[in-house]
Structures are given as structure tokens and as C-alpha cells.
Amino acid sequence: MTTGAEQSPSLNAAVVLSQAGALLARAGGRALSHWGVTWPQALSLLALAEQAAPISATRLVEQLGLGRTAMTSVVDRLERNGWVLRRPSPVDRRTADLVLTDAGRTLVAAIRPVLDELTESFFAAVKARDLERLAADLARLRDGLAGRLT
């Protein structure tokens, strides 16, 4: 789908953002295929690696913006591959916390440089100051959307 002059600026931005996200996910999937990990799985592993303490799948959904069904599939695969463990939450017996395993940490260490290189090349056409502004604008967009969907 191309963007056309007949579209409103907001619809045009939404289309371009969706296209860019799909292309980044596809490029990420290709770059990660050697490890048998998908883009959403890699983002989940990175998010878990950056946590000071284990978090629930619900919290991970909130951080990544994935749907609950998609996140369940991602977490199931991460657990099946031995990269994540589900442990009963000491705070809420109805939920489980996600714990990154040693194998998961090793994988994160291996894929992080690949993801850094991929994203550097993906955003190479954008100046550093523009990239900072873009990230801030996208964060505001994300927060606004999250507020409407909760």
C-alpha cells in the first residue's frame, strides 16, 4: 500500500508507521533466524533481561504492546526453548513471573549486537537529533494509544 495525497496526514502517518514496523519486524526476523528466534521473542527477551526482578506476562504485554494471545504464544515458545521459566508469583498466586534462564541470558548476549547493528542500519537515514525527536514523538503516540485502549 502506498500513501496517497488524498489521505489525511494522521492516516498517512499511521500507514507509514505500520509499514515501517512491518519492515523492521521482517528484517529483524531474518537477522535472528540463525538463532531460531523471532522479532517479538527477541524483544521479549531484551525486555526481560533489562528487568531488575522477574515480571509477569501481563507486565511484559504492557511493556511491548503485544496482544495477550500473541504474548502467550511468544512466552510458550521462549519457555519451550529453555530461555524463560514461569515461576509462581510470590505476590499473586494467580500469576506467574517470567524468569530469564542462563540460556536466555546467553542468547540475549549473542543477539544484542545483531539487533544494535540492524537498528543502526535501519535508522541510518535519520539524523541523531531527529531520531531522538522521533523516539519521543513515538513514545507520546504509544502512551496516548495505550491510554485509549485500557
Q: Give the CA-trace dihedral at 58, 74, 118, 63, to 10 degrees.
A: 0
Q: Which residues of the chain have pLDDT under 50?
A: none
> What does the pLDDT read at residue 43?
94
Gap between the Cα atoms of 77 and 58, Å rounded: 16
Does CATH number 3.40.50.1370 belong to domain 9-149? no
* SS3 call for 11: helix
pTM: 0.83
Query: Among 118, 139, 138, which residue's Cα sits nearest to residue 17?
Result: 138
> What does the pLDDT read at residue 86?
93
∠ CA 59-61-63, nearest 5°, is 70
> What does the pLDDT read at residue 7?
81
Burial class of residue 81 in the structure, from the number of CB atoms within 10 Å of its CB (0-12 exposed, 13-18 middle, 19+ buried): middle
- What is the grid cell recorded at 34? 540463525
